[in-house]
Chains A and B, each alone.
Chain A
Amino acid sequence: MNNPQLNKNGELQHLLSTEGLPVDIVRDILDKAATFVDVSDGREIKKVPLLHGKSVFNVFFENSTRTRTTFEIAAKRLSADVVNLNIGSSSTSKGETLLDTVDNLCAMHADMFVVRHAQSGASHFIARHVAPNVHVINAGDGRHAHPTQALLDMYTIRHYKKEFHNLRVAIVGDVLHSRVARSQIHALTTLGVPEVRVIAPKTLLPTMVENLGVRVYHDMNEGLRDADVILMLRLQNERMQGAALPSAQEYFKYYGLTEEKLAHARPDAIVMHPGPMNRGVEIDSGVADGKHSVILPQVTFGIAVRMAVMSILAGVKV
């Protein structure tokens, strides 16, 4: 089975998942992102002409202002032309098939698609059908993957911890429904993190999650013990009550990150969250705004990482 993300020379053709992504490519993305952090950070003019004349289409079948905005900023800082399409509210509701939508967008000479879709595998499906010169970036597909989020998390971890091979990383929350968690797990194991833990009640974990290479904890204090990095997951509103969880309050009591629970981690532990946060549900405000939190730097790095991914896909040498 060919890796659908790579071309026949082993170069990145699409970014669909962190699973099966060669470690060299991951490092390349992180290294390149470092150069773009400077562009965003220190310069008067926050633009480089690397994608000048290229068209990036943000194709969102599922609404997301935040992610779409960060991709838009990233593309614009690379001088690309950006088109935002909220397909959820137009074509498909008129009965157009997904393939027709994709064909139409290809006919508009897009160079890159940034795709978000509610179905796992939608980006793979689109990547299989686009014209050969078009690159697809998965901006989140169902419960499957959200690779740029995971890569920006890796960038953040490397920024604060330098190395991966000596880390204990704990992922906390709704792993079952989380594309972020899946992508983080693959990225962490690819980069050689020796111990990846997941902490959640059994109702929020997939069957056989251990086979992804993680240790499972149901007790949060135990799971956080001596952790270097804590990756919090967002709890979707619709999961807060029902058959998976009795209430947001009870969830917070057992799995919300508070100062007391955080005290079990290493003193220099960093706390991350993909946003948007539910304060008082998965994370206490004191922790979210506290000295361990690197949640805002994550957002800044996110733009640089997305710039890096786009420039590598476009085959631009920096």
Chain B
Amino acid sequence: MNIHIKNGRLIDPKNNIDARQDVYIVDRRVASVGKAPPGFAADQTIDASGLIVMPGLMDVAARLREPGYEYKATLESEMTAAVAGGVTSLACPPDTDPPLDEPGLVEMLKYRARSLNQARVFPVGALTYGLKGAELTEMNELTEAGCKAFSQADAPLTDTRVLLRAMQYAATFGYRVWLRPQDSFLAKNGVAHDGEVAARLGLPPVPVIAETIALATALQLARETGVILHICRVSSTAAVDMIRAAKLEGLKVTCDVSMNHVHLTEMDIGYFDANCHLVPPLRGLRDKAGLRAGLLDGTIDAVCSNHSPVDDDAKQLPFAEAEAGATGLELLLPLVLKWAEQECVPLLDALAHVTIKPAQLLGQKMGHLTVGAHADICIFDPKASWKIEPAALRSQGKNTPFNGYEMQGRVRYTLLDGQIVFQQ
């Protein structure tokens, strides 16, 4: 089918395009940008007047909760949420039940996702069996099954020797290792940033050093092994500074930040708002500023939703007992737009953090609208304002710390592989 997207403002960070240009799709791929290809006849025309046309978003951390936690969310509900948020590709962490440590599980997930035909799913395989931090998984088999990287998700890996071996093994084959740095002893039982709010509210703390000590170990091991390392959900200024230095040094390291941490701080916990019980914890104002500086100077590569749908019962508990996590797939784009507006970042730069940069750190040739690329496209109205109301979210997880926030920017069309999969 041939599709003509006309009159839109095309923003394609990879190709450095921010201009009024039409996009022509032939056979599920971008056939031309600007001028119609010879002999093009549109079967369908999308009038994108007043709208922005961009590559579909790529979210490097979205929990779909399958297999094992279908009461929290299902592939159907979360894929619907993804495309409603303009997200056409997502990487899902391995902390399912059972964890993604067997090729069969990965194949099943890929198969289920493909049959839904909504967003592309890039599974991140477990680095160790059962995420127990003891034995390495069959990384070759898992890669053949479709894993794009290996991670412990939020499970601890306390044995440094195992981590060294895991990195050596991954480096042997050029596989990517994704780690969220946290020293599990320093973070034990902790539920909030070790700062003023935790002191006041008497919440067990997670100090910044829990992040930086584990990060120092990870960077040192990366230096030793030469592994391609990605640091997930960086939360503190100190960690951003360390990654900046590591990049300058020439280490193959990338990192991402969750949208929650770009906008919120420990102060948002207020009077024990369990929606702000997140992993890693929301940190102080200076950390938020440090994360934003890291985005501006390119130290932080990707912005993700850290989408973690939680069922209502698990949130209806006192702060520390409430399960950590928040929904995010549908909020990623408007929250990136909000940050860009607040910091006066040109959209061309801002949107790179959710398109080409995450694609690169996943090793995928995607996240752009070059001629010949898959036509994964998000078309949104930058002027449309809306209020976040949990009941209106498509995700099965309704909990968000942004409940009631006024947002600007609403997705109108999402195309996956040249087909309209969402429209409103």
Interface residues of A (CB under 8 A from B): 1, 4, 19, 97-99, 117, 119-122, 124-125, 141-145, 179, 182, 206-209, 211-212
- Check A120 against B202 for contact (C-beta < 8 Å): yes
Residues from chain B with Cβ under 8 Å of A120 in the complex: 201-203, 272, 318-320
A145 and B202 contact, Cβ closer than 8 Å, known pairs A207-B194, A207-B207 = yes
Residues from chain B with Cβ under 8 Å of A211 in the complex: 196, 199-200
Q: 20 interchain pairs (CB within 8 A)?
A: A1-B270, A97-B316, A97-B317, A98-B317, A119-B318, A120-B203, A121-B201, A121-B203, A122-B318, A142-B202, A142-B203, A142-B318, A145-B202, A206-B198, A206-B205, A207-B194, A207-B198, A207-B199, A211-B196, A212-B200
B289 to chain A, nearest CB (A): 17
Measured between alpha carbons, how far is A142 from B321 in the docked complex, in Å?
12
A257 to chain B, nearest CB (A): 24
Residues from chain A with Cβ under 8 Å of B173 in the complex: none
Residues from chain A with Cβ under 8 Å of B194 in the complex: 207
- Check B271 against A4 for contact (C-beta < 8 Å): yes
Known: A121-B318, A121-B319, A142-B202. 18 other contacts (CB 8 A): A97-B317, A98-B316, A117-B318, A119-B318, A120-B320, A121-B201, A121-B203, A121-B271, A141-B202, A144-B202, A179-B202, A182-B200, A206-B199, A206-B205, A207-B199, A208-B199, A209-B199, A212-B199
Q: Which residue of B lies closest to A99 (CB)?
A: B316
- Check B199 against A125 for contact (C-beta < 8 Å): no
Residues from chain A with Cβ under 8 Å of B320 in the complex: 119-121, 142
Contact with A along B178-210 (1 / 0, CB 8 A): 000000000000000011101111111101000
Residue among B271, B317, B321 with most chain A CB within 10 A: B271
Interface membership of B313, Cβ < 8 A = yes
A208 and B319 contact, Cβ closer than 8 Å, known pairs A1-B271, A121-B272, A142-B202 = no
- Check B321 against A119 for contact (C-beta < 8 Å): yes
Q: Which residue of A lies closest to B270 (CB)?
A: A1
Q: Which residue of B lies closest to A177 (CB)?
A: B202
Measured between alpha carbons, how far is A63 from B196 in the docked complex, in Å?
29
Q: Which residue of B lies closest to A207 (CB)?
A: B194
Q: Which residue of B lies closest to A142 (CB)?
A: B202
Residues from chain B with Cβ under 8 Å of A4 in the complex: 271
A207 and B202 contact, Cβ closer than 8 Å, known pairs A121-B318, A125-B272 = no
Residues from chain B with Cβ under 8 Å of A124 in the complex: 271-272, 318
Measured between alpha carbons, how far is A182 from B205 in the docked complex, in Å?
16
